[in-house]
Homo-oligomer: A and B are copies of this chain.
Amino acid sequence: MPSKNKELIVELLKSSKLSITETRVKILELFLKSNGALEHADFEKLSGKSFDRVTIYRTLQTFLDKGIVHKIPTTDTSVRYAICRSECREHEHHDHHVHFRCEECGSTQCLDETDIPVISLPKGYDVHNVEVVVSGVCKACH
């Protein structure tokens, strides 16, 4: 299973035309391990071997540019990242699913099965993207 993840990661990086570096692989492993959203601090803590802060910032930015990850809106200054499903990549990072933030454990999850409803705005507004963040108590904490 670890080697399977590794293959997957290498494939992902290749298809994004990114070189295979230790940092990128480690960070993607973290994403695959924890199936919730991660913030910058998590990478500094979770990675046994700690990378330089700058490298993490740059790696996440690269992943954003390539559509490998996307950001999740928050009401504080923390920036949360989640790994994208296939539909997100290639084009723009439209997330066509709902994000859930648990008030108990603090984790943020992508609810891939839950579609975002159609929202009709007043006339004159052009809609490009819709973000839905639900907060409450998650399955595990219930």
CB pair A134–B124 under 8 Å, yes or no, is: no
CB pair B122–A139 under 8 Å, yes or no, is: yes
Set of chain B residues within 8 Å of A117, measured between Cβ atoms? 117-119
What 0/1 pattern do residues 50 to 82 of A give for CB contact below 8 A with B?
000000000000000000000111111111000
What 0/1 pattern do residues 107 to 142 of A give for CB contact below 8 A with B?
000010110011111111111111111111111001
A103 at the A/B interface (Cβ < 8 Å)? yes
- Cβ-defined partner of A136 (8 Å) among B100, B114, B129, B142: B129
The number of times this chain is found in the oligomer is: 2
A98 at the A/B interface (Cβ < 8 Å)? yes
Set of chain B residues within 8 Å of A73, measured between Cβ atoms? 73-75, 131, 133
Set of chain B residues within 8 Å of A138, measured between Cβ atoms? 124-125
Whole-angstrom CA separation of A122 from B139 in the bound complex:
9
CB-CB nearest in chain B for A109: B125
CB-CB nearest in chain B for A80: B75
CB pair A119–B142 under 8 Å, yes or no, is: no
Give the interface of A toward B (CB within 8 A): 71-79, 98, 100, 103, 111, 113-114, 117-139, 142
Task: A100-B125, A117-B117, A131-B132 given; name 17 further pairs at CB < 8 Å.
Answer: A71-B76, A73-B133, A74-B74, A98-B119, A98-B121, A114-B120, A114-B121, A114-B122, A117-B119, A124-B138, A125-B136, A125-B142, A126-B142, A127-B136, A130-B134, A132-B132, A133-B133
